[in-house]
Amino acid sequence: MPELPEVESLRQILERSVVGRTIVGTRIGRLPLRRKVTTNFGPRIRGRRIDKIGRRAKYLILDLDGEDVILVHLGMSGSLTCRDRDFDSSEFDRRHDHIEFRLDDGTRLVFNDPRRFGIVRLVVRIALPDLHELKGLGPEPLSEAFNADYLAAQARGRKVAVKNLIMDQRVVAGVGNIYASEVLYRAGVRPTRRAGRLKREEIVRIAKFIPIILRDAIDRRGTTFRNYRDSEGRPGAFADRLQVYGRAGEKCYRCSTSIRNVLVGQRASFYCPTCQK
């Protein structure tokens, strides 16, 4: 599933390529997404200009002129690509092109999602803060609102595993399974540790490495294992930087101990038993 770095990388590319462009037409595929696209979706956005590309947690927000925004979630396998005449679409199965936005410069902005768990939804801007998908989200991990004091307050007295805590979208928005494993490795904390029993210095390290890991991943366009591609059709390059995620049985780069895999909250969690305590 695309996490915050993949979505933020996508936002930055779209901001450069489609802001200021006008939607002149749409095409909606036959197969429904998790949330069905409304019948007035195409007519309502036709002729509207894309003024800004925002992000909240793992959601993209295409801000249109007028009163509406388009909310996009990539789901498990979605992508949103800008396709011009030179775009290489060989990595994409056209059968899974569910929504196509035709822009005034001839570019097509295409939402492709093989597993169809994604969301593309038209929302009135003033309703955005109260939207079910966004209401109750924690602070952005790259914002000043997220720091060690905040994380310590969230962890205090909690019996939940620390990995589950930092993946709880109500605690901090956008941290997913890949980057939670990498953060805890860098912080030297096992994913199974109870959040409420962490020492202050451990919480400080976790709060420090969350934005560091995420920014590093954003700079490398995120992580690709199978089918994730950014808006220009390129795979993410952060997979080459992974220290523990997906490396069960392989040697730790730091100490040569075998990386282990344990289920935490029904998710695969990778760690080094020597480097993480």
- Range 246-250 average pLDDT: 97
Rounded distance, CA 94 to CA 123, Å?
A: 27
Q: How far is CA 221 from the centre of its chain?
A: 11
| Residue 231 confidence (pLDDT) above 60 | no
Write down the pLDDT at residue 158.
Answer: 97
Q: What was the pLDDT predicted at 2? A: 83
pLDDT for the residue numbered 114: 87
What is d(CA 195, CA 14) in angstroms, rounded to the nearest whole number? 37
Indicate whether this model's pTM tops 0.95. no
For the record, the structure tokens of 72 come out as 């996009």
Query: What does the pLDDT read at residue 218?
Result: 94
State residue 93's pLDDT score. 66
Q: Give the chain's domains with CATH numbers.
A: 4-130 (3.20.190.10), 148-271 (1.10.8.50)
Average of pLDDT values for 7-11?
93
Q: Give residue 5's pLDDT band: very low, low, confident or very high (50, 70, 90).
A: very high
Amino acid at 94: R
pLDDT of residue 138: 97
Q: Check residue 224 and give its pLDDT.
A: 60
Average pLDDT over residues 103-125: 92
| Greatest mean pLDDT range, 12-16, 73-77, 208-212 | 208-212
Instruction: For residue 232, name the pLDDT band (cuts at 50, 70, 90).
Output: low
Q: Show which residues are catalytic.
A: 2-3, 58, 267
Reported as type and span, the H/E element at residue 4 is helix 4-17
- Model pLDDT for residues 173-191, shown as the tens digit of each residue: 999 999 999 999 999 999 9
HSE value, Cβ hemisphere, 13 Å, CA-based, for 228: 20
pLDDT tens, position by position, 203-225: 999 999 999 999 999 998 787 65
Mean pLDDT over the full length of the chain: 91
